[in-house]
Amino acid sequence: MSIASSVLARPRRGRLYIVIGAVLAVLAFATAAGIASLPLIQGTTTGVKVVVASHDIQARTVIQDSDLTLASINPTPPQSFTAVNKVAGKGARVDIPAGMPISSNLVAPSGDLVSSSDVAYLPIPKGWVAVTVPTSEQVGVGGYVQVGDRITMLATINTQAFGQSPGRAVVLTVFRDIDVLRVGPSGTSSSGTPTGVVSSLTVLMNGCDAEYLFWLLNNAAMKYELESYTDYQGLPTQPDSKCPGVSSATGVGPKDVEARWHFTTH
């Protein structure tokens, strides 16, 4: 080989080495990128299965089994559910698009009330009614009564209302273990934030007791006591045998109220 041909071969070999090096660099980069993406790919197939919407769910509707499915999500969304039966029967607080994981802040459990904007329905058993009564700081235990609490109702009335003369003021407990279904509304600040004490309580009663309650609200001074949760009785699931339907209420007057509570003899 001549000196000239040897000189020409060296640049060719140099270019070949550069090309091979570039190819190896590209392969190394592609391999590293593939390895880096493995956790993400694995996460979509091996994540925890949580409950998601199988199709669009409208706000303020009761969610059914057919509205839900399970999907693997990684990482697991906060406050999510892993079983369809934990969500079915709850009410949607907001519109939930298809594929979105269902979390506890998106649903109202069993019709429970959090605010006037997220109520799916009031949990009123057959034969019972919801009644709204006024409240305030002095009447309603400083505003501490919340949804799901039980209250006792006291009535202060002058016995002149029952024909007794001279009359006298009498205080009696008239209703116990009354379930609070809803509270509100309260006042709002300029920014829309709730302020102050709520002005009403919506409670669960049978239709006959509701008539007595309205009579007392019109003729007596009412105050409420907040019961300890350890004293709560079970919630009704069937009509009250003493007042089995809304048509059982037939009206009340002073004689009925006196016959039930005997204000004049206390």
Domain chopping of the chain, boundaries? 48-108, 128-265
What pLDDT was estimated at residue 224?
A: 94
What pLDDT was estimated at residue 190?
A: 54
Q: Which residues contact 237 (CB under 8 A, 6 or more apart)?
A: 125
- Lookup: tokens for 82: 């892993």
Question: The pTM is what?
Answer: 0.56
Residue carrying structure tokens 């002149």: 160
Cα-Cα-Cα-Cα torsion 58, 62, 64, 70, nearest 10 degrees, comes to 60
Calculate the CA 63 to chain-centre distance: 13
What burial class does residue 184 get, using C-beta atoms within 10 Å of its C-beta: 0-12 exposed, 13-18 middle, 19+ buried?
middle
What pLDDT was estimated at residue 10?
A: 55
CA angle 125, 126, 130 (to 5 degrees): 60
* CATH class, range 48-108: alpha beta
Calculate the CA 44 to chain-centre distance: 30
E strand or H helix at 46: helix 3-46
| Torsions phi, psi for 133 (to 5 deg) | -120, 150
Print pLDDT tens along the chain (266 aa): 555 455 445 555 666 667 676 666 667 666 666 655 544 434 445 678 999 999 998 776 788 899 999 999 888 888 899 999 999 888 887 789 999 999 887 887 654 434 444 455 677 888 999 999 999 888 888 888 888 889 999 999 999 999 999 999 999 999 999 999 888 875 554 555 555 678 899 999 999 999 999 999 999 999 999 998 888 888 888 899 999 988 898 999 999 999 999 999 98
